[in-house]
Amino acid sequence: MSDPILKKIIARLDRLEAEVFGRKRGRAGRKAEEYKGAKGGILLLVSKNFLAKRRTAQEVKKEMEKDGYDYRIAVVQTALNRLSIKTGPLTVSSEGGKKAYVKRK
């Protein structure tokens, strides 16, 4: 086969695979507007390494507000709890009677 025909076939195959299997993107490649909801706001903070140190739910809420995420503390707390399960990106520890969240290593 000639070279232009192979290029067309490969381009078509790439388009078909992307449509069927979806485009593969790493988490680092996500844009800020792709993070939706309270969970998305927390994942945005994780990608910015804000949660590399222990943070309380109140600190997370204040930082989320800087990025335009305006949620009640109960909503932020629920999202943090759901992200801190065994397979989640966060882990939780008790610090002076308050829960503190940190990125899982």
DSSP assignment string, 27-41 = GGG--GGG--HHHHH
- At 24 the pLDDT is 56
Supply the mean pLDDT for the chain.
Answer: 86
- Asked if pLDDT for residue 21 goes beyond 90, the answer is no
The sign of the dihedral angle between the CA atoms of 69, 73, 75, 77 is positive
> What domains can be seen in the chain, in order of their start residue?
3-103 (1.10.10.10)
- Asked if pLDDT for residue 80 goes beyond 60, the answer is yes
